[in-house]
Amino acid sequence: MPQAQPTVAFTTLELRLLDRLTKTPRHLADVQSVACYLEKLAQLGGYLRRAHDPPPGNQVIWKGMSRLTDIKLGYLLAKENVGN
């Protein structure tokens, strides 16, 4: 369901971080959906979004998720809000 709400796959904090860290794909600029945020996640993993590139694969998504987790942890540590 690529047109589903992004909150089914991401937390509110993750959505805010992805919005701040990456550009919204041009073809998805008017729609805030899971597909839009998965492409943003892929950008964190190294996906270049060139015109003729195939859709991002599992490895790029995995790298993006790993990076987003690290960024999220760093953000929470900076706020000193880590499980306390």
Residue at 20 is within a domain: yes
Residue 1 lies in a domain: no
2-54: pLDDT as tens digits: 789 999 999 999 999 999 998 876 666 667 889 889 999 999 999 998 889 99
75 is a domain residue: yes
Give the pLDDT confidence score for residue 64 in this predicted structure.
97
The answer to the question of residue 38 being in a domain is: yes
Domain count, the chain: 1
The reply to whether 36 falls in a domain is yes
Residue 84 lies in a domain: no
The pLDDT tens digits for 42-56 are 999 999 988 899 999
The domain in which residue 46 lies consists of 6-79
Contacts 24+ apart (CB under 8 A), 10-15: 10/37, 13/72, 13/75, 14/68, 14/72
